[in-house]
Amino acid sequence: MEWMSLLGFGACVPDPSFRAGLPFPAFDINRDAIPPLLRRRTSQATQIAFSAATVACSQACRRPAALPSIFASVVGEIQTTDLLCIELAKPEGLISPSSFHNSVQNTASGYWSIAQQCIHPASALAAGCDTFAMALLEAWCQLACQGSELLLVCYDETWPEYLAPGRGEPAFASALVLAAGVVEDSLLHIGRPHRGCKSEGFQPVLASLAAKMPVLGAMPLLSLATTGGDGQNVPISPAASGWQVKVSTCV
């Protein structure tokens, strides 16, 4: 497989000032994207993941129940996990079973499968500053081996400030509906993720933002999905690894 095709994308950014300055459309949390019975139990991480995924599926005109999914997050349910650790450090050491259930890396992907009544495979992964790049590589591998289409969601909620001062904000989620091969009228054709020259990396402004919140590594690709671009190598990781993809609007 030489190319995969971007059929639709969505982005969720709760911070209105940051959202207003983005070069691609982004939205606040859509609480209606989460069924009422799940809504009260979900974290900011799950809410932004659901919101972005719903927009991407709608733009691509695809049913969420029909798509395998990949959910990627650097720290997952970090707010819930932090609270659990605080409770465990107390003399009584009692924790909520519900909070423990909602602290795992695949919380968002599990709830998505339940809410959408999707029986297709769902993956959950984390890879530090390369999380978006590795999620896109995983998507490439699945599409190259199995064909068809899938949903990729990359997200992180705001981190507890004292755990990583100066990092872990703003909360951000992006979602891509991807198809194997070249699909007509797709937004972009995306080549296989590969390591490139670090000098072809992020622009300084984007690099400083992505250094604070690694899932913002999706921003250059989302920008090109909006403006278009042919034959460009686009960075997909803020890390020194230099992961990038070649993109084109016409193949």
Q: Give the position of tokens 């932004």.
A: 48
Cis peptide before 170 (omega within 30 of 0): yes
Please state the pTM of the whole predicted model.
0.94
Which value, in Å, is the radius of gyration of the alpha carbons in the chain?
A: 18
Contacts of 18 (CB under 8 A, 6+ apart): 170
CB of 71 closer than 8 Å to CB of 49: yes
76: region left, alpha or beta (phi > 0 left; psi from -120 to 50 alpha)? left
CB of 234 closer than 8 Å to CB of 192: no
Give the whole-angstrom CA distance, residue 221 versus residue 226: 9
Q: State the amino acid at position 238 in one-letter form.
A: P
Q: Which two tokens stand for residue 208?
A: 């400083």
Give the whole-angstrom CA distance, residue 160 versus residue 102: 17
| Domains of the chain from N-terminus onward | 4-185 (3.40.47.10)
Task: Provide DSSP, 46-104.
Answer: HHHHHHHHHHHHHHHT--GGG--EEEE-SSSSHHHHHHHHHHHTSSS----HHHHHTTS
The predicted pLDDT at position 200 comes to: 60
The predicted pLDDT at position 199 comes to: 47
Query: What is the residue-level pLDDT of the chain in tens, covering all 251 positions?
Result: 999 999 999 999 999 999 999 999 999 999 998 888 888 888 999 999 999 999 999 999 999 999 999 999 999 999 999 988 888 888 887 777 777 778 889 899 999 999 999 999 999 999 999 999 999 999 999 999 999 999 999 999 999 999 989 899 999 999 999 999 999 999 999 999 999 865 466 777 788 888 899 999 999 999 999 987 666 889 999 887 889 999 998 66
The predicted pLDDT at position 95 comes to: 77
